[in-house]
Amino acid sequence: MIIRRKKHYNYFEKFVELVNISCKCAEILNDTLTNFDPKTLGQKVDEIHKIEHSGDLAKHELMARLATEFIAPIEREDIVNLSQQIDDLTDAIEDVLIKIHIFNVTALKPEVLKFTKLIIKSCKALKGVLEEFPNYKRSTKLNAKIVEVNNLEEEGDKLYYNTIHNLYTSSKDPVELLVWTEIFDLLEKCCDACEMTADTVESIVMKNS
């Protein structure tokens, strides 16, 4: 009788797969807003939602596997938390496009593209963290990669502060202020989500070192 061994499930590879979905959503967001056309925005929302949904399915697959796994490479709680934070990042990126569509925005503020490019950089930097994560016990690069994400989040904080200050000094229209405050809040939240995920990786490493 042939005994088939259960195929090894690589959680670290799954984390990278999940963040690749975040990166793809960031690219769609940036491309859509760089070539902004309000008439096609609904179609772009559908496009980004399909990508986001593929992330949901990948996360559900991870959770289902974890529920049946006898031994995991790191604590189950950490796997759940980290996968959820990457999923939250993808959701945050999608939410920007959804809100721009809901608010029927017809012209963009120039700072928007500064944010979307920063979000792409942050997602790529986070991907670098997660690619290095499996080697955390002997890695000499992981800490620097985490710091890179933190630095990009600080850049996002400064951009957010200056953008909101300029918004409220240049406009007195309450609707415009409401709409753009919410949109810029969501853009900054994407950078925050990258940092939170990188900080979670750092916390896991500290617990397991």
CA pair distance 197, 130, nearest whole angstrom: 9
CA pair distance 206, 137, nearest whole angstrom: 10
Among 68, 184, 179, residue whose Cα is nearest residue 116: 184
> What pTM value is reported for the model?
0.93
What are the tens digits of pLDDT across the range 158-189? 999 999 999 999 999 999 999 999 999 999 99
Residue 28 has pLDDT above 50, yes or no: yes
Would you list the domain boundaries of the chain? 11-208
% of the chain exceeding 90 in pLDDT:
89
What are the tens digits of pLDDT across the range 44-94? 999 999 999 999 999 999 999 999 887 888 899 999 999 999 999 999 999
Overall residue count recorded for the chain in this entry: 209
- 140: phi then psi, degrees, rounded to nearest 5: -105, 5
CA pair distance 48, 45, nearest whole angstrom: 5
pLDDT band, very low/low/confident/very high, at 9 (cuts 50, 70, 90): confident
Q: What percent of the residues of the chain are helix, what percent strand, and what percent coil, each to the nearest 5?
A: 80, 0, 20
Q: Which tokens is 102 given?
A: 């809901």
Mean pLDDT of the chain: 94
- How large is the angle between the packed helices 142-170 and 111-132, nearest 10 degrees? 160
Helix (H, G, I), strand (E, B) or coil at 140: coil
CA pair distance 104, 173, nearest whole angstrom: 16
114: CB partners within 8 A, 6+ apart:
159
What are the tens digits of pLDDT across the range 138-158? 999 999 999 999 999 999 999
- In this predicted structure, what is the pLDDT of residue 157? 98
Instruction: Note whether 139 and 202 are within 8 A (CB).
Output: no
| CATH fold for the domain made of 11-208 | Methane Monooxygenase Hydroxylase; Chain G, domain 1 (1.20.58)
